[in-house]
A and B are shown apart, each in its own frame.
Chain A
Amino acid sequence: MDFLTLIQVLDSTIRLATPLLLACLAGLFSERAGIFDIGLEGKMLAAAFFSAAVAAVTGNVWLGLLAGVASSLVLSGIHGLASITFRGNQLISGLAVTMLAQGFTVVIAQRWFQQGGRTPSLLTEGRFGPINLPFAEAVSDVPVFGPIYSELLSGHSILVYLAFAAVPATWWLLYRTRFGLRLRAVGENPEAVDTAGISVVGLRFAAVGICGLLCGLAGAYLATSLQAGFVKDMTAGRGYIALAALIFAKWRPWHAMGACLLFGLLQAVALRFQNIELGGITIPVQMMDALPYILTVVILAGFVGKAIPPKAGGEPYVKER
């Protein structure tokens, strides 16, 4: 494999890791506050559809982004209502949210565009264009560093840079602010937070809201940057891979980035090479598809360091009277 191929594979790794990373950080906020969320997939899907639909109709990608985030926030609100206010089963709620999005997006897409559950393809103004970093052109001829800078790091959409900037921001918010301390506490020991006179319900809704925002960005990225428009079920299990990455990273932001890049690399390799020859053994492409899930099961099984979820995760909080 020559150097240019390597750069290209890594470049598509970054593109493919971005939606995973945004969704993974979304799940991180929610689960750190004690609300399991298996509905990341659904929120991304809804955001992908509404961002593409609004961008297609108005021709303005920013309005599309806004609509995508709004739709994701609505689903977050439903999940919060079910799992925080009515203390329902968070897993069932997450599943229902995903199904709701899977059905709704196609029903509405068919009604609005009559193209078999997809949106029209987005033209240039309906998509997020590449951002060229300063001097990308000038240094492109420098050996090794040139291609790395101009091909690999430069020329992505703004949401890619936003996703990677969200990693230190998440770390700072969770570990260096009062809000972050409280948010982590509410996922471990809500009674203590309540005793300190801080609203458990308020904190959890805030976390679920941040989760909705980030899922919205992830979905909008899928439909307006990675691809040009919405097609039925376009998230293709990415919400669940993000969930896997979250467990793989043991609910920590920097590790989440590592896990998402790893899973992004697996997708990029599977996309570029169908079957891989390794020392006489052929690794089928299906193995690459299944690897994120297999790795997650191995991690969950605790054979490679134990993944311990936030202690109060999945448990509705009942205030004592």
Chain B
Amino acid sequence: MEKMPKWADVVLIPLISLLLAAIISALVILGIGEDPVAAVKLMIDGALGSTYGWGYTLYYATNFLFTGLAVSVAFHARMFNIGGEGQAMLGGLGAALVCLYIPWPHWSMALAGGAIGAAIFGAAWAAIPAYLQARRGSHIVITTIMFNFIAAAVLNYVLVNLLRPAGSMDPATARFPEAVHLPSLHEVLAPLGIEFSKAAPANVSFLVALAACVFVWLLIWRTKLGYEIRAYGKSEQGALYAGISPFKITMIAMLLSGALAGMMATNNVMGEAERLVLNSTEGAGFIGIAVALMGRSHPFGVFLAAILFGFLYQGGAELALWTKIPREMIVVIQALVIMFTGALDNMVRMPLEKIFVALRKGKA
């Protein structure tokens, strides 16, 4: 029998973990001589108080949706894809090539083409670690870490030596043509009569990310393949016995994961920068891990967690602007969330289980 009701596992534990992370973050802010209550107010005001703030919050959230889903899909097959960062970098390269070298007549086609290009490059970057895991037993965590660094070197080489326009000192591609420009949320919502900030970078790829959420939910819980992925993740022995090929599941789960991470490029490369720059991913691949852990690898949970982290990112930027709290405070909060929801899960779970068992005994 389960020791705890399901709602406690899915809602209560993440909330308590989040609360612990928040308490320690508040102590850190106190420790550097700032007021945590004022900081939270400033963050809420800056990230959610205006459509401008929302525009940034949703822009960051879009990145985290893609990388969070990427980590989640791999988690379902019990693999830890720590390489979302590298896959997203390569996805950026794929999207940039598609945008630069194919004359797109309309943004919607460019978005589809760019998304496919990004997904293929991201998946390809995940394919080698996946193959080595499935066939040679090389630990996927270590290989994907290594591939993050190799991706950074590849991107550096390509931008400095191949794609940099002549005469430019900046290691970045040329600006994408005008036809590739993705509508911002301002342009999407204006015909509906909704006023949305013009300056904020949130764009139509937010809707692509939402579609990806639905797609992952359908895939994992409503298809045979999703069932096989989950079965393999629960028990490799059991899956093998049921005739599920570990090689096939490992490859498919990782390719999907890489493709999702790569598709982040529709937002940060095509939607915002409109060219490929070095370090365009800004660590979003790692935040995906926090998002997947917080969201319990469920697309809806990932959605909520991505919005939360989008809020933290935009709020953190506001803090850095108006107070003496540096932007890196967000990295601390992110680390605490990963620590409490991921590694120290049992610290919260064990006492809670005891409480629930005691309660049940009391009733019986």
| A and B held together in a complex | yes
Which residues of A line the B interface, CB within 8 A?
38, 78, 81-83, 86-93, 95-100, 102-104, 106-108, 110-111, 117, 237, 240, 243-244, 247, 284, 286-287, 289-290, 293-294, 296-297, 300-302, 309
Tell me if A309 and B331 are in contact (CB < 8 A): no
Tell me if A110 and B339 are in contact (CB < 8 A): no
Tell me how far the C-beta of A276 lies from the nearest C-beta in chain B, rounded to whole angstroms.
14
Chain A: CB-nearest residue to B348: A86
Q: How many A-B residue pairs have CB under 8 A?
A: 149
Chain B: CB-nearest residue to A83: B343
Tell me if A297 and B339 are in contact (CB < 8 A): no
* Interface residue from B141, B145, B346 paired with A86 (Cβ < 8 Å): B346
Tell me how far the C-beta of A286 lies from the nearest C-beta in chain B, rounded to whole angstroms.
4
Contacting residues of chain B (324-364) with chain A, CB-CB under 8 angstroms: 324-326, 328-336, 338-339, 342-347, 350
Main secondary structure of the interface of A (DSSP, over half): helix
Bound-state CA distance A59–B121 (Å) is 51
Contacting residues of chain B (284-328) with chain A, CB-CB under 8 angstroms: 286, 289, 293, 324-326, 328
Bound-state CA distance A92–B149 (Å) is 19
Chain A: CB-nearest residue to B327: A106
* Interface residue from B137, B156, B325 paired with A286 (Cβ < 8 Å): B156
* Interface residue from B33, B82, B156, B350 paired with A95 (Cβ < 8 Å): B82
* Interface residue from A78, A92, A103, A110 paired with B342 (Cβ < 8 Å): A92
* Interface residue from A243, A287, A289, A290 paired with B145 (Cβ < 8 Å): A243
Tell me if A107 and B343 are in contact (CB < 8 A): no
Tell me if A88 and B154 are in contact (CB < 8 A): no
Tell me if A108 and B32 are in contact (CB < 8 A): yes
Bound-state CA distance A302–B131 (Å) is 13
Tell me if B142 and A284 are in contact (CB < 8 A): no
Q: Which residues of the other chain, B, contact A107 by a CB distance below 8 angstroms?
A: 28, 32, 325-326, 328-329, 332
Tell me if A88 and B345 are in contact (CB < 8 A): yes
Q: Which residues of the other chain, B, contact A83 by a CB distance below 8 angstroms?
A: 343
A-B contact pairs, 26 of them (CB 8 A): A82-B339, A82-B343, A88-B343, A88-B347, A92-B80, A92-B339, A93-B342, A96-B343, A100-B335, A100-B336, A100-B339, A102-B331, A103-B329, A104-B28, A240-B145, A284-B157, A287-B153, A290-B149, A290-B153, A293-B147, A294-B150, A296-B146, A297-B147, A300-B139, A300-B146, A302-B138
Bound-state CA distance A92–B331 (Å) is 15
Q: How many residues from B make CB contacts under 8 Å with A?
A: 49
Tell me if B335 and A96 are in contact (CB < 8 A): yes
Tell me if A104 and B153 are in contact (CB < 8 A): no
Bound-state CA distance A302–B135 (Å) is 10
Tell me how far the C-beta of A241 lies from the nearest C-beta in chain B, rounded to whole angstroms.
8
Bound-state CA distance A12–B329 (Å) is 35
* Interface residue from B161, B328, B329, B335 paired with A284 (Cβ < 8 Å): B161
Chain B: CB-nearest residue to A82: B343
Q: Which residues of the other chain, B, contact A93 by a CB distance below 8 angstroms?
A: 339, 342-344
Q: Which residues of the other chain, A, contact B334 by a CB distance below 8 angstroms?
A: 99, 103
Bound-state CA distance A284–B157 (Å) is 8
* Interface residue from B132, B335, B344 paired with A300 (Cβ < 8 Å): B132
Tell me if B328 and A99 are in contact (CB < 8 A): no
Instruction: Given A83-B343, A86-B350, output 4 extra A-B contacts at Cβ < 8 Å.
Output: A86-B346, A88-B346, A103-B329, A286-B154
Tell me if A302 and B149 are in contact (CB < 8 A): no
Tell me how far the C-beta of B126 lies from the nearest C-beta in chain A, rounded to whole angstroms.
13
Tell me how far the C-beta of A306 lies from the nearest C-beta in chain B, rounded to whole angstroms.
8
Bound-state CA distance A293–B128 (Å) is 14
Tell me if B342 and A88 are in contact (CB < 8 A): yes
Bound-state CA distance A178–B314 (Å) is 54
Bound-state CA distance A247–B154 (Å) is 23
Tell me how far the C-beta of B68 lies from the nearest C-beta in chain A, rounded to whole angstroms.
15
Bound-state CA distance A38–B331 (Å) is 17
Tell me if B146 and A95 are in contact (CB < 8 A): no
Bound-state CA distance A104–B335 (Å) is 10
Q: Name the residue among B157, B324, B328 with the largest chain A CB count within 10 angstroms.
A: B328
* Interface residue from A86, A110, A293 paired with B326 (Cβ < 8 Å): A110
Bound-state CA distance A98–B339 (Å) is 11
Tell me if B154 and A290 are in contact (CB < 8 A): yes
Tell me if A300 and B149 are in contact (CB < 8 A): no
Q: Which residues of the other chain, A, contact B345 by a CB distance below 8 angstroms?
A: 86, 88
